[in-house]
C-alpha cells in the first residue's frame, strides 16, 4: 500500500504513552511527515507534536489521518467513529494498524465512498502475492533478526538506513510491520500474510535492485519463538539477505508470552545462517544490536565489549551509541 503524506496523528483518548507507540514510532523517525496531533479530552499520550484540529491540519497540507494507537484486541472505540468520518468529509484519507478493518464500520465505509477517500488498514494488504521462488536477484539486502520479539529490530533497521544514507549509500528501509509501513509509507504487515505467501511477500518488499543498492528489511519475531518462528523463517527465505544483524535484549530470561528460555546470540547466528543458506548460500552476520535501556552506561559498554570479544563482531546499542560500527563492518564485508 502507498499512504499519502503528510500525516495528522490521531491519538484518541488513550490512557498512557505506550498506547500511542505507533504514532510515537512515526514521530521518532519521520517527524517531517507529521503536521500535528489530534487528541480527544482525557488523552494521556503526547507525541510532542502541535495539537491541531482536522480543519487546521487540512489547511496545513495533511493528506492522511493516522490512527496511531494500539489497544487490547485492536478494537476501534465507537466514539472515535465520528472523528474518522469527519476526517474523510474534510478530504483526508485514513490509516490504522488496528485489527478492526475501517471498511467494516458502515459509517466509515459510506463516508469514504461518498467523498472518494482511501482507507488504509495497514495490518491487512490488498496486494496479491505469489509464492516465493528463491531465485537470486540483483541488489544487496540486510535483515534484522532477533533472539526474541520486541528487541529493537525496527529501530535498528531504521538507524542503519539513517547512517547509510548519511554516508551517501543507496539504502532503503523495507517495512514488514504496521508501524513500519506508516514510517515508510509502503510495505506489508508480514504477520497478516497467508503462510504460503510469506516468502513471496518478502520478495515483493525487496525486489531486484541496482548492484550497490541496499534494502534494509525490518525483521519480525525470532526463529526460536514457538509462536512466530514460521513468520520469521518465511521472511528470512524471501528477503534472501546477504547480511543480517542480531538484535537482543539482555535482561530477559524467557521469550515474550511463553516459557521457553532465550537462545544465545551464537545460536541465533548459527540458525539464521543454516536456514538462510537455502536462498542465499553466502549469508553472513555483520553485527549485534542490543537494547541496553535497562543497563547503566558503564554496564552497557562493558556488556557490548564482552559480546565483541566473544563473537568477533561489532556490538552496539543503536539508540544509545549509534550504528556506525555496524555500517563500517557492512562496508568492509561488502566493498563497493
pLDDT > 90: percent of the chain? 87
The answer to whether residue 133 sits within a structural domain is no
Q: Are residues 108 and 152 in the same domain?
A: no
CA distances from 156 to 36, 46, 219, 248, 252 (A): 26, 24, 10, 11, 19
Q: Is 329 helix (H, G, I), strand (E, B) or coil?
A: helix
What cell numbers appear for 157 in the block? 533497521
Sign of the CA dihedral running 151, 157, 158, 164: positive
* CATH at residue 196: 3.40.50.300
- Examine the domain organization and report whether 91 and 144 are in the same domain: no
Asked whether 62 and 89 are in contact (CB, 8 A), the reply is no
**Interatomic CA distance for residues 19 and 72, integer angstroms:** 9
Residues 210 and 85 in one domain: no
- Residue 98's pLDDT band (cuts 50, 70, 90): confident
- Together in a domain, 174 and 221: yes
Q: What are phi and psi of 189, to 5 degrees?
A: -75, 100
d(CA 116, CA 101): 18
Both 115 and 233 in one domain: the answer is no
Asked if the structure places residue 215 within a domain, the reply is yes
Peptide bond connecting 260 to the previous residue in cis, omega within 30 degrees of 0: no
Domains contained in the chain, number? 2
Quick: pLDDT tens for 43-81.
Answer: 999 999 999 999 999 999 999 999 999 876 678 999 999
> Based on the domain organization, do 145 and 27 belong to the same domain?
no
Segment 243-269, tens digit of pLDDT: 999 999 999 999 988 999 999 999 999
Assigned domain for 130 exists:
no
Q: Which of 121, 151, 182 marks a domain boundary?
A: 121
User: Is residue 127 one of the residues assigned to a domain?
Assistant: no
Q: In angstroms, what CA-CA distances link 154 with 20, 124, 158, 246, 308? A: 16, 19, 6, 12, 22
Q: Is residue 132 a part of any domain in this protein? A: no
Here the CATH number for the domain that contains residue 44 is 3.40.50.720
pLDDT tens-digit map of 8-26? 999 999 999 888 989 999 9
> Whole-model pTM?
0.87
Query: So what's the pLDDT on residue 73?
Result: 63
* Domain identity same for 233 and 94: no
The verdict on 262 and 291 lying in the same domain is yes
User: Do 156 and 230 belong to one domain?
Assistant: yes
Q: What is the rounded distance in angstroms from the CA atom of residue 276 to the CA atom of residue 317?
A: 25
Radius of gyration of the chain (CA): 20
* Alpha carbons 146 and 189: distance in angstroms, whole number: 17
Max CA pair span of the chain: 62
Q: How many CB atoms neighbour CB 330 within 10 A?
A: 26
Instruction: Say if 73 falls within a structural domain.
Output: yes
Q: Which helix (H) or strand (E) holds 64?
A: strand 64-67
Kindly state whether residue 292 falls inside one of the protein's structural domains.
Answer: yes
Are 113 and 251 contained in the same domain? no
Work out whether the CA dihedral 18, 21, 23, 28 comes out positive or negative.
positive
Domain that holds residue 146: 140-333
Strands 119-121 and 93-96: parallel
179 and 292 co-located in one domain: yes
Whether 189 and 89 share a structural domain? no
Percent of the chain at pLDDT above 70? 99
Amino acid at each position: 500500500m502507498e499512504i499519502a503524506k503528510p500525516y495528522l496523528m490521531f491519538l484518541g483518548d488513550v490512557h498512557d504513552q505506550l498506547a500511542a507507540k505507533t504514532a510515537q514510532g512515526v514521530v521518532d523517525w519521520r517527524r517531517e511527515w507529521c503536521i500535528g496531533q489530534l487528541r480527544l479530552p482525557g488523552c494521556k499520550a503526547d507525541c510532542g507534536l502541535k495539537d491541531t484540529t482536522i480543519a487546521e491540519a487540512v489547511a496545513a497540507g495533511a493528506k492522511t489521518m493516522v490512527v496511531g494507537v494500539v489497544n487490547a484486541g485492536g478494537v476501534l472505540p465507537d466514539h472515535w467513529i465520528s472523528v474518522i468520518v469527519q476526517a474523510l468529509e474534510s478530504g483526508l484519507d485514513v490509516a490504522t494498524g488496528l485489527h478492526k478493518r475501517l471498511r467494516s464500520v458502515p459509517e466509515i465505509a459510506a463516508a469514504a465512498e461518498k467523498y472518494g477517500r482511501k482507507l488504509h488498514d495497514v495490518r491487512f494488504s490488498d496486494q496479491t502475492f505469489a509464492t516465493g521462488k528463491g531465485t537470486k536477484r540483483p541488489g544487496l539486502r540486510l535483515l534484522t533478526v532477533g533472539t526474541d520479539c520486541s528487541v529493537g529490530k525496527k529501530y535498528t533497521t531504521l538507524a542503519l538506513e539513517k547512517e547509510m544514507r548519511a554516508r551517501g549509500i543507496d539504502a532503503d528501509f523495507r517495512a514488514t510491520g504496521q508501524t513500519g509501513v506508516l514510517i515508510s509509507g509502503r510495505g506489508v504487515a508480514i504477520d497478516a500474510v497467508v503462510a504460503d505467501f510469506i516468502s513471496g511477500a518478502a520478495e515483493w518488499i525487496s525486489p531486484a535492485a541496482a548492484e550497490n543498492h541496499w534494502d534494509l528489511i525490518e525483521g519480525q519475531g525470532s526463529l526460536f519463538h514457538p509462536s512466530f518462528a514460521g513468520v520469521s523463517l518465511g521472511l528470512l527465505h524471501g528477503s534472501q539477505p546477504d547480511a543480517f544483524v542480531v538484535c537482543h535484549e539482555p535482561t530477559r530470561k524467557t521469550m515474550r508470552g511463553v516459557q521457553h528460555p532465550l537462545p544465545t546470540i551464537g545460536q541465533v547466528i548459527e540458525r539464521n545462517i543454516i536456514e538462510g543458506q537455502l536462498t542465499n548460500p553466502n549469508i553472513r552476520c555483520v553485527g549485534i544490536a542490543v537494547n541496553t535501556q535497562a543497563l547503566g552506561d558503564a554496564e552497557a559498554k562493558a556488556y557490548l565489549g564482552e559480546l565483541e570479544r566473544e563473537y568477533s563482531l561489532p556490538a552496539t546499542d543503536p539508540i544509545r551509541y549509534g550504528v556506525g560500527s555496524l555500517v563500517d563492518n557492512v562496508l568492509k564485508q561488502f566493498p563497493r
